[in-house]
Structure 1
């Protein structure tokens, strides 16, 4: 339950290290299990990780009647989920509008995040970008104007356009289209849909991108019609060390049983160490500090070098020791070196 007494519905799938999916709109935990592509993705990730999912406020199985909210409210909800279900450092999965939530959380809580996986995401939107083309601004305003009227109507032009952009060519499959359409209808009321859409259009986490310290892998469907590839190219430019993988798809929701979906799952598991469950992961700051410790520096020297407090250095070293399952610094430096974790330190 959040500080303003909103109940957030959560679900855990699979087993292993935690992988927490940041909240996305059009979310309904039960509907996802009925969609073959979505279930295939959850099942594949769950073979190596405990996937934590939740419905954002106003959506799915969470409290439906909610007061006005903005991005900071949704971020505070994400923090509530992390505190309750992932108190130890964990990897984050940010899909679509979940990507800026994951980025902002990683920037503000670097010691709590081991890795970021972002899919079809963005840092700035229509109303927050300084140079959004006029025709795109008009498109955004039109969608907002029609969302409330068309959200719940099966045959509304808004619903048809929205599903076509969301699914791409996959919308031609009547069964898949019906299932996603049902999730759209059941996920939220027209009023909440408009409020989430307005919130999404105002997101701006460009400044937070530069503060991300953990390894980051960015995926984007090459012909995504809802969030353009240019958005992920910007993420890679703004997040230090981020890597981009292009997927041959035009769907904003990845078809898990097609090649793009299989590539996403395979690359994600490899990135998160799914193929080697014994391989530890360190945050960028932990790697940086352990690299200086390997050079023989004391905590005070490391603190001066990185403009940190000695207490912060001690905390990072302790987290590194825990991640490496080592009893002391010498053992940690040896194992990190053996695993190749200090190569970029």
Structure 2
């Protein structure tokens, strides 16, 4: 497994920011995706631009080769010659060479760094940290089996850890029409700690097995890295089982748990006949349509999770999912979840739990919420008037849920 040596990535803005970085006699316009040197535009290949963007985002800090591969090549296996070629092209584009290294310096066998001052200019005041998309520092930690996890913290107040679920992306979530409002609302009252599950989002794609046990170890690693002594947990969908196991194992660390769309038995356990058919069908649709938001297969998958989605919301969530994981990883996670059978752990959860669930959820039925609440020592059931497993911020149910969550966590 490759381990990331650069432990923090702090982009000046999120995906759609209008930022210009100036350094030496060059400037990078992130929004326009252009490089200028001496006032003249310089054509560079997309991966070369990404190398330069990553370097200016880390101005003065080393970017490890592993981080370079994870960000520029999305964790895919590439040869040393390919990496070297892109670095060489980046040097040439800004007027540097491998011999002089006046701008981009090589750290032998470890990585590269930009060694000239960088100035960032925001060309759109509406994107400032106080009025637009929040900035964040993305950090890395390592789980017990060596899997590398990306996490971040936003906001102030009582700590709330959002358990990693299918599928998220720490950076892209901030500008998502779905997750952006969730993050804004939660971080306005809490120190919101988020992480991408192993093998997805900005976590390293090379990871150990997907399992409930490893999910608990991952949650522990993030909580320890964020120095959370005692905190509440927000767990959606399959992450609820992980949160329950965590609370049973570490009762002194957890204050309260809020679940949304949770299930404790996977579809292949609660109804083997239809569950097996659904699991196989989803695997086929994901395999055939992943990465193409216009695919009929993927629009069917998206509509299953979010029946009342607008066209924009549907395209947004499908693009986000494709950026978060490969089709193989998505299928692996879905298959693991289909065989959850974790009812016994509920009796050992001693903290108060708010169990929120869509009444007409077509992915995991409302009966799962009733089952969970009936086996927990201290549970409150919150039915939500929606058909969406993935709840949209434009729904009345979203405000109902957030209001109940805020009151419950006070």
Query: Do they superpose with TM above 0.5?
Result: yes
Contact 2:196–2:202 (CA<8 Å) still a contact in 1?
Answer: yes
Q: Which residue of 1 aligns with 2:400?
A: 263
| 1:45 pairs with one of 186, 192, 201 | 186
Partner of 2:306: 167
| Runs of 4+, deviation exceeding 4 Å | none
Contact 1:213–1:240 (Cα < 8 Å) also in 2: yes
Question: Is 1:15 aligned with 2:152?
Answer: no
Q: Is the 8 A contact 1:16 1:49 kept in 2?
A: yes
Aligned to 2:98: none
Structure 1 residues 146-295: aligned runs within 5 Å: 146-170=285-309, 173-273=310-410
Work out the CA distance in 2 between the residues paired with 1:203 and 1:31: 28
Q: Which residue of 2 aligns with 1:331?
A: none
Query: 1:62 aligns to what SS in structure 2?
Result: coil
Between the aligned partners of 1:47 and 1:154, the Cα distance in structure 2 is 32
The alpha carbon displacement at 1:86 in A equals 4.3
Q: Distance in 1 between matches of 2:257 and 2:379?
A: 9
Query: Secondary structure in 2 aligned to 1:8?
Result: strand
In 1, are the aligned partners of 2:363 and 2:389 still within 8 Å (CA)? Answer: yes
- After superposition, the C-alpha distances for 1:154-179 in whole angstroms (9 at most, x for unaligned) are 34443122100111212xx2221221
Provide Cα deviations, 1:99-154, integer angstroms capped at 9, x if missing partner.
Answer: 1111111111111110010000011112334xx15223222222234433332333
Q: Aligned residue for 1:61? A: 202
Task: Say whether the 8 Å CA contact 1:168–1:224 is kept in structure 2.
Answer: no
Partner of 1:134: 273
Structure with a larger share of its residues in helix: 1
Partner SS state of residue 169, structure 1: coil
Task: Please say if residues 200 and 324 of structure 2, whose CA atoms lie closer than 8 Å, have aligned partners that are also in contact.
Answer: yes
Gap regions ≥5 residues in structure 1: 274-345
For 1:326-341, list aligned pairs within 5 A: none
Q: Measure, in 1, the Cα distance between the counterparts of 2:148 and 2:269.
A: 29
TM-score (norm: length of structure 1): 0.74
* Contact 1:103–1:205 (8 Å) recurs in 2: no
Give the secondary structure class of the aligned counterpart of 1:56: coil
Q: 1:8 to 1:233 in 2, by over 3 A?
A: same
Task: Point out the more displaced range, 178-187 or 252-261.
Answer: 252-261
TM superposition score normalised by structure 2: 0.63
- CA deviation map 1:15-60 (0-9, x unaligned): 1011001110211112211123422221112121111110011101
2: CA distance, partners of 1:146 / 1:207: 33
Could you give the per-residue CA deviations for residues 231-261 of structure 1, whole angstroms, max 9, x where no partner exists? 1111111111211111111111222232101
Whether contact under 8 Å (1:13, 1:43) holds in the other structure is no
Structure 1 equivalent of residue 109 of structure 2: none
- Aligned ranges 1:299-318 → 2 under 5 Å: none
Secondary structure at 1:198's aligned position in 2? helix
- Across the aligned residues of Structure 1 and Structure 2, the Cα RMSD in angstroms comes to 1.6
Q: Name the CA distance, whole Å, in 1 between partners of 2:391 and 2:154.
A: 19
Distance 1:25 1:261, change over 3 A: same
2:207 and 2:291 mapped to 1: Cα distance?
A: 19
Q: Deviations over 1:73-111 (max 9, x none)?
A: 222111111222143111011011111111111111111
Q: Is 1:110 matched up with 2:268?
A: no
SS at match of 2:288: helix
Distance 1:135 1:41 in 2: 32
Q: Structure 2: 5+ residue runs without aligned partners?
A: 1-141
Partner SS for 1:53: strand
Higher relative contact order (CA 8 A, sep 6+): 1
Larger Rg: 2
DSSP-derived class of the 1:271 partner: helix
After superposition, the C-alpha distances for 1:283-338 in whole angstroms (9 at most, x for unaligned) are xxxxxxxxxxxxxxxxxxxxxxxxxxxxxxxxxxxxxxxxxxxxxxxxxxxxxxxx
